[in-house]
């Protein structure tokens, strides 16, 4: 007999029926939430004043530019040198000058306090120097000059004899002694747009700072690693020109806040002379570097000392400056501030990441 006829009727019926479809709940698609765009930075003080409409023969992106001979004070290039503008982290050159000239112990340990955190609330220093971080005064000075570290600069001012108020008074007194009649300081980091100066005044500051070997060394160092509690953190220079063999820089400082734009001051050997260069309120993250390169090439060409093989090393900076104003990022530091430096952390030997700081 056929085996299929021997099966129970119910079994044969169940097998012959098509499978039932299980009802499924409707799939909800996640609503796309539009990404929040960062609000555009307000125009800088220089742009509001119309300084960017000033034309110059090199088509610089900086609203203010000045090149002077350090020894003779001869002006070789000038654009809006009388303008008094926010100077962002260029401030830290004066902070360093006071600390060095006061002869304070560089091996004294200083701690970042909640007060320092509140004072630099607009800065991205929280990624590096957390409250309670203890470093020597020398390390704080190194980070303030090289990496435009805002909390380090704040600690240096707070721990000055007499405290922060006395430090700010000393900043303005030293500026007066240097003949910086257009200059006013209200705090030691450069985060405040009320720290203001002119190109001529800043050339005087650069000249004074360059007389101190420690400021020259720290401001032009490529990078450094410091112990912050259980971690080692690497800090890098906010100025890429210190890595460029075409540049022989003795002292430098970058700066950035929205009100100031991108700023750069330096002293370097160019065309056989020690020259001081000041660039203020440059539009675009890399434009101050491009402007510095334009000025350097122009100086070599105008003095007949240009080398036939000098141009290739500057091609990248020239392209960045000419082809677009790469978005501003707040840094350091120089931000507030400079935004150009990197800090890579290592916790017990494991890479932790990197951050960019101005200003």
Flag whether 23 is in a domain: no
pLDDT at 231: 85
Flag whether 51 is in a domain: no
Q: Region 104-108: what's the mean pLDDT?
A: 98
Say which residue the tokens 């705090």 belong to.
187
pLDDT at 112: 97
What secondary structure does DSSP assign to 3-23, as a single string?
A: HHHHS-HHHHHHHHSPPPPPP
Q: Sorting pLDDT into bands at 50, 70 and 90, what band is 347?
A: very low
Strands 109-111 and 223-228: unpaired
Smallest CA-to-CA distance from 253 within 266, 243, 235 is with 266
Flag whether 182 is in a domain: yes
Eight-state DSSP code of residue 184? B
Question: Is the pLDDT confidence value at 152 over 90?
Answer: yes
| CATH, residue 235 | 3.40.710.10
Active-site choice (148, 282, 287, 330): 148
Flag whether 44 is in a domain: no
Q: What is the average pLDDT value for the chain, to the nearest integer?
A: 82
User: Count of domains in the chain?
Assistant: 1
Give the whole-angstrom CA distance, residue 206 versus residue 188: 16
Q: Region 37-56: what's the mean pLDDT?
A: 89
Active-site choice (44, 62, 89, 125): 89
Catalytic site includes residue 89? yes
Give the whole-angstrom CA distance, residue 142 versus residue 215: 8
Flag whether 9 is in a domain: no
Domain that holds residue 76: 56-343
Smallest CA-to-CA distance from 293 within 70, 59, 71 is with 59
Active-site choice (44, 92, 125, 210): 92
pLDDT tens, residue by residue, 210-232: 999 999 999 999 999 999 888 89
CB-based contact 357:335 (threshold 8 Å): yes
Q: pTM of the entire structure? A: 0.78
Return the higher-pLDDT residue of 27 and 219. Answer: 219
Percent of the chain whose predicted confidence (pLDDT) is above 70:
72
Catalytic site includes residue 219? no
Flag whether 260 is in a domain: yes
Q: Sorting pLDDT into bands at 50, 70 and 90, what band is 336?
A: low
Q: Say whether 355 sits in a helix, a strand or coil.
A: strand
pLDDT tens, residue by residue, 282-304: 998 899 999 999 999 999 998 76
- Sequence-distant (6+) residues with CB within 8 A of 269 are 248, 250, 275
Flag whether 14 is in a domain: no
Flag whether 255 is in a domain: yes
């Amino acid at each position: 007999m056929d085996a299929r006829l021997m099966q129970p009727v119910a079994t044969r019926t169940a097998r012959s029926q098509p499978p039932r479809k299980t009802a499924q709940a409707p799939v909800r698609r996640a609503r796309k939430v539009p990404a929040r765009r960062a609000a555009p930075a307000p125009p800088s003080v220089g742009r509001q004043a119309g300084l960017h409409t000033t034309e110059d023969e090199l088509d610089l992106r900086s609203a203010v530019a000045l090149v002077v001979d350090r020894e003779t004070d001869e002006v070789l290039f000038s654009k809006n040198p009388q303008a008094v503008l926010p100077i962002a982290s260029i401030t830290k050159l004066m902070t360093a000058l006071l600390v060095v000239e006061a002869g304070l112990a560089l091996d004294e340990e200083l701690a970042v306090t909640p007060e320092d955190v509140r004072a630099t609330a607009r800065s991205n220093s929280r990624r590096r120097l957390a409250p309670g971080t203890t470093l020597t005064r020398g390390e704080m000075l190194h980070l303030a000059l090289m990496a435009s570290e805002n909390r380090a600069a704040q600690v240096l001012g707070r721990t000055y004899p007499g405290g922060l108020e006395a430090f700010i008074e000393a900043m303005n007194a030293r500026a007066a002694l240097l003949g910086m009649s257009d200059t006013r300081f209200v705090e030691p980091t450069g985060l405040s747009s009320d720290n203001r100066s002119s190109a001529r005044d800043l050339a005087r500051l650069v000249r004074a700072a360059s007389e101190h070997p420690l400021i020259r060394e720290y401001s032009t160092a490529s990078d450094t690693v410091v112990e912050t509690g259980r971690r080692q953190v690497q800090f890098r220079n906010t100025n890429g020109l210190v890595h460029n063999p075409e540049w022989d820089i003795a002292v430098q400082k970058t700066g950035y806040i929205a009100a100031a734009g991108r700023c750069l001051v330096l002293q370097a050997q160019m065309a056989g002379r020690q020259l001081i260069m000041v660039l203020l309120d440059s539009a675009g993250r890399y434009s101050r570097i491009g402007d510095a390169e334009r000025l350097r090439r122009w100086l070599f060409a105008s003095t007949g000392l240009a080398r036939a093989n000098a141009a290739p090393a500057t091609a990248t900076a020239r392209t960045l400056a000419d082809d677009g104003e790469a978005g501003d990022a707040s840094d350091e530091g120089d931000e507030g501030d400079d935004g150009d430096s990197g800090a890579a952390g290592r916790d017990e030997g494991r890479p932790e990441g990197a951050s960019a700081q101005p200003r």
